[in-house]
Amino acid sequence: MIRRQSEFNDSTLSKRLLAYGYKHWKSFLAVFIMMIITTVVGLLSPLITGKVIKLLEDPLLDFIKVIYWIIFLGVVVFASVILEVILSYILQKTGQRIIYEVRENVFSAIESYSIAQMKETPAGKLVTRVTTDTNTLNEMYTSVIINVLKNVLTIVGVLVAMFIVSTKLTLYILLFTPVLVIVSYIFRKYSRRAYREVRKNVSNVNSFISENISGMKVTKVFGQEEKKYKDFHVENTNLKKSSLKEILAFAIFRPSIYVIYILAVIMVLWIGGNEAIQNNILIITGFTYVELIVFYQYIDKLFNPLQQLAEQFNILQSSLASAERIFEAIDKKSDIIEVENPIELTEIKGKIEFKNVWFSYIPGEWILKDVSFTVEPNETVAFVGATGSGKSTILTLITRNYDIQKGSIFIDGVDIKQVKISSLRKAVGQMLQDVFLFSGTVSSNIALRDEDITEDEIIHAATYVNANSFIEKLPNKYDEEVKEKGANFSSGQRQLLSFARTIVHTPKILILDEATANIDTETENLIQDSLKKLMSIGTMLIVAHRLSTIQHADKIIVIESGKIIEEGTHQQLLKNKGHYYKLYKLQYEGSDI
Ligand SMILES: Nc1ncnc2c1ncn2[C@@H]1O[C@H](COP(=O)(O)OP(=O)(O)OP(=O)(O)O)[C@@H](O)[C@H]1O
Ligand SMILES: [Mg+2]
């Protein structure tokens, strides 16, 4: 099979796919048995029709017997239709169950990715893994496997029946095989290419739409609607063209098979008809026009599955490609690895130590160069420095969002690489630069999914960080709806909510990466007041853009291009008249004049 190179070959893929199906083997067995019954019924019905015709032409016509056979045929066909309905119900139900499980597995795998791994895959692609790819897989369980089996079984059955009815005519039919093979081969080749193009273009259109809906505000602000529309038009046209190509492949293939079928029928009628006439006169081999009718019906039953097989091969290909992408997503291990028997942080004092830490996002490009500092329990340490100097990076390393390349980070004297990651993240409350709110309510955004947190605790936390006053003014207060990404809240309000969210989980160490966005004076005052309270909770590491925020910090660390260049209290650093002094003067003058 032609697919892109990967770690999976078809047999490993099939084994893993079967493993998902295996749990439902009873359903599949039931379906398989029903499928055999319906196929056999399908194969027998031409024979029964032949039997009825023979009875009808008998000079001593036994009418009752004919009626019996017709009723028998009716009952059998009706029963097999009912079986088909049950069969497809069981199949769909089983397919949905399997896909449900696959979706859960993919999602939990994605949840375990490290932040770096999340960033390297566009969100749209991950969404496709959980939705579109699993759906394609569903088609394989519910239609392809069973239909391929059914078609193969039918073809074999029909050929056997044809041989029994007339060896000679069957051999004539088999003469068409090479033509069928060539036509199917060309179709498969062409349609596979078309199919891939369609997939690619669908994905292009999807990512175009999702990116541009997110960025619609920017488009509007810059009046770029028309230009974006033109770009979309190009993507959309590509999709239309490739879809038409795919449709064309089917539009040519199906009639071609039909033409071959008609040719086969003409040949059979010609040769078989001649033979039947001669036999009717001479009675040599017993091949009469009744056999001819039976045979004719079998040709029909032979060509349908042949055509379907060629078409199903495509679905099989795309299902395997989807399966491959799904298993890749499931197998991807987080690159932040926990040691065996990790240490659980229980009683935390809150001492943090960076010892000769070197770190880079991209190999070779050092963002932090030999950074060392110590924060004693309950101290507040502030980081200042130009944009891009590495302040946020320092904070993000404490919870192992990324692993450092050289040096060590300790919490209460324990290397964080030895610590259980979940207990590490629980110990440290992070308030990041870009606050993310989930769609839901104000309450649900503060408690997140922690069910142990009561409504009282939520209100208490919100009050503590000064968020209560604006929440109380909302029409539905704590039940106020939060739109996607918190679009209906100002950046100051979002920040206050993130404070509440952090302290409600009672961490011993707080990390605050202050947002740079402009905040109105009233909210600013609330935030400043709230910050003072936060500093008294435990150890606090803070990146502040407004130096007024951090004057009371126990220590201020000045960073430049990933290096610590100054360290001390506000007063000490001012006295030194170094980098901090310049920064302070700039801001002080900037704001007061
Ligand atoms: N995920 C990432 N992948 C690659 N490089 C990154 C990534 N995140 C940050 N960087 C780079 O690392 C450097 C430090 O970034 P960092 O976010 O720590 O700066 P910062 O001091 O917090 O700046 P700001 O004051 O603007 O918030 C920057 O040069 C940035 O381009
Ligand atoms: Mg930053």
CATH number, domain with residue 513: 3.40.50.300
Across the range 433-446, mean pLDDT stands at 86
Across the range 518-546, mean pLDDT stands at 80
Across the range 268-281, mean pLDDT stands at 80
Q: Evaluate whether residue 205 is within a structural domain.
A: no
pLDDT given for residue 409 in this prediction: 95
Across the range 51-73, mean pLDDT stands at 84
Give CA–CA dist 109/261, Å, rounded. Answer: 50
- Asked whether residue 37 falls in the same domain as residue 162, the answer is yes
Atom of ligand 1 nearest to the CA of 362: 4
Assign 541 to helix, strand or coil: strand
Give this prediction's pTM: 0.73
Residue whose Cα lies nearest atom 11 of ligand 1: it is: 388
273-287, 297-311, 438-452 — which is least confidently predicted? 273-287
Q: Evaluate whether residue 424 is within a structural domain.
A: yes
Q: Evaluate whether residue 343 is within a structural domain.
A: no
Q: For residue 593, what pLDDT band results from cuts at 50, 70 and 90?
A: very low
Give CA separation, 252 vs 193, 263, 405, in Å: 15, 17, 59
pLDDT given for residue 280 in this prediction: 66
DSSP 338: P
- Asked whether residue 327 falls in the same domain as residue 357, the answer is no
- Asked whether residue 513 falls in the same domain as residue 376, the answer is yes
- Asked whether residue 418 falls in the same domain as residue 308, the answer is no
- Asked whether residue 519 falls in the same domain as residue 437, the answer is yes
Q: For residue 48, what pLDDT band results from cuts at 50, 70 and 90?
A: confident
Cα-to-centroid distance, 83 and ligand 1 (Å): 63
Atom of ligand 1 nearest to the CA of 559: 21
pLDDT given for residue 590 in this prediction: 53
Candidate ranges 380-394, 436-450, 540-554; pick with highest mean pLDDT: 380-394
Beta bridge partners, 559, equal: 385, 564
What mean pLDDT value characterizes the chain? 85
Give CA separation, 535 vs 24, 203, 316, 432, 568, in Å: 56, 48, 60, 16, 18
Tokens of 567: 């360290």
Give CA–CA dist 485/18, Å, rounded. Answer: 40
pLDDT given for residue 1 in this prediction: 42
Q: Looking at the predicted structure, is the pLDDT value of residue 6 above 80? A: no
Our mutation pick for probing the ligand 1 site, out of 335, 361, 394, 559, counting the most ligand atoms within 8 A of Cβ, is 361
Question: How many other CB atoms are found less than 10 A from the CB of residue 128?
Answer: 19
pLDDT given for residue 132 in this prediction: 81
Pairing assessment for the beta strands 440-441 and 481-482 based on DSSP bridges: antiparallel
Give CA–CA dist 177/173, Å, rounded. Answer: 8
Q: Evaluate whether residue 213 is within a structural domain.
A: no
Q: What is the pLDDT of residues 307-337, one digit of tens each?
A: 888 888 878 878 888 888 889 888 888 888 8
Give CA–CA dist 203/359, Å, rounded. Answer: 35
Cα-to-centroid distance, 386 and ligand 2 (Å): 9
pLDDT given for residue 7 in this prediction: 66
Assign 591 to helix, strand or coil: helix
- Asked whether residue 477 falls in the same domain as residue 516, the answer is yes
Assign 236 to helix, strand or coil: helix
- Asked whether residue 314 falls in the same domain as residue 370, the answer is no
Q: For residue 260, what pLDDT band results from cuts at 50, 70 and 90?
A: very high
Assign 88 to helix, strand or coil: helix
69-73, 281-285, 322-326, 570-574 — which is least confidently predicted? 281-285
Q: What is the CA radius of gyration of the chain?
A: 36
CA nearest 558: which of 391, 368, 339, 337? 391
Q: Looking at the predicted structure, is the pLDDT value of residue 516 above 80? A: no
Give CA–CA dist 48/43, Å, rounded. Answer: 10
Across the range 265-288, mean pLDDT stands at 76
Instruction: Using alpha carbons only, give the angle 71, 74, 78 rounded to the nearest 5 degrees.
Output: 140
Q: For residue 2, what pLDDT band results from cuts at 50, 70 and 90?
A: very low
Q: What is the pLDDT of residues 385-439, one digit of tens each?
A: 888 899 999 999 998 989 999 999 999 999 999 999 888 888 888 888 788 888 8
Q: Looking at the predicted structure, is the pLDDT value of residue 12 above 60? A: yes
Residue 136's CATH number: 1.20.1560.10
Q: What is the pLDDT of residues 522-535, one digit of tens each?
A: 777 778 888 888 88
pLDDT given for residue 51 in this prediction: 85
- Asked if 3 and 192 count as a contact pair (C-beta separation under 8 A), the reply is no
Q: Looking at the predicted structure, is the pLDDT value of residue 3 above 50? A: no
Give CA–CA dist 580/237, Å, rounded. Answer: 57
Give CA separation, 491 vs 11, 271, 498, in Å: 53, 85, 10
Q: For residue 284, what pLDDT band results from cuts at 50, 70 and 90?
A: low
Q: Evaluate whether residue 74 is within a structural domain.
A: yes
- Asked whether residue 300 falls in the same domain as residue 393, the answer is no
CA nearest 242: which of 281, 282, 171, 193? 193
Domain that holds residue 382: 352-592
- Asked whether residue 146 falls in the same domain as residue 295, the answer is yes
> Which long-range contacts (C-beta less than 8 Å, at least 24 apart) are formed by 208-215?
208/232, 208/235, 210/123, 210/124, 211/124
pLDDT given for residue 393 in this prediction: 93
The ligand minimizing its distance to the Cα of 432 is 2
- Asked if 384 and 436 count as a contact pair (C-beta separation under 8 A), the reply is no
Burial class (CB in 10 A: 0-12, 13-18, 19+), 459: buried
Give CA–CA dist 368/407, Å, rounded. Answer: 11
Across the range 165-186, mean pLDDT stands at 88
Tokens 């597995």 map to which residue?
105
Residue type present at position 398? I
Q: Torsions phi, psi of 411, nearest 5?
A: -120, 125
166 versus 283: the higher-pLDDT residue is 166
Domain end call among 297, 331, 365: 331
Q: What percent of the chain has pLDDT over 70?
A: 96
- State how many domains the chain has: 2
Q: Looking at the predicted structure, is the pLDDT value of residue 80 above 80? A: yes
Q: Evaluate whether residue 226 is within a structural domain.
A: no
Query: Which residues contact ligand 1 via a Cβ below 6 A?
Result: 119, 361-362, 367, 385, 387-393, 433
Cα-to-centroid distance, 364 and ligand 1 (Å): 15
Q: What is the pLDDT of residues 467-507, one digit of tens each?
A: 888 888 889 888 888 887 777 888 888 888 888 988 888 88
Percent helix, strand and coil across the chain, each rounded to 5? 65, 10, 25
- Asked whether residue 431 falls in the same domain as residue 287, the answer is no
Pairing assessment for the beta strands 481-482 and 509-513 based on DSSP bridges: unpaired
Q: Looking at the predicted structure, is the pLDDT value of residue 237 above 70? A: yes
pLDDT given for residue 226 in this prediction: 86
- Asked whether residue 307 falls in the same domain as residue 436, the answer is no
Q: Evaluate whether residue 242 is within a structural domain.
A: no
- Asked whether residue 416 falls in the same domain as residue 507, the answer is yes
> Which long-range contacts (C-beta less than 8 Å, at least 24 apart) are formed by 72-76?
72/48, 73/45, 73/48, 73/49, 76/41, 76/44, 76/45, 76/48
Atom of ligand 1 nearest to the CA of 396: 18
- Asked if 173 and 167 count as a contact pair (C-beta separation under 8 A), the reply is no
Q: Looking at the predicted structure, is the pLDDT value of residue 252 above 50? A: yes
107-121, 162-176, 377-391, 557-571 — which is least confidently predicted? 107-121
Q: Evaluate whether residue 165 is within a structural domain.
A: yes
Atom of ligand 1 nearest to the CA of 433: 27
pLDDT given for residue 233 in this prediction: 94
Across the range 105-121, mean pLDDT stands at 84
Instruction: Using alpha carbons only, give the angle 44, 49, 52 rounded to the nearest 5 degrees.
Output: 125
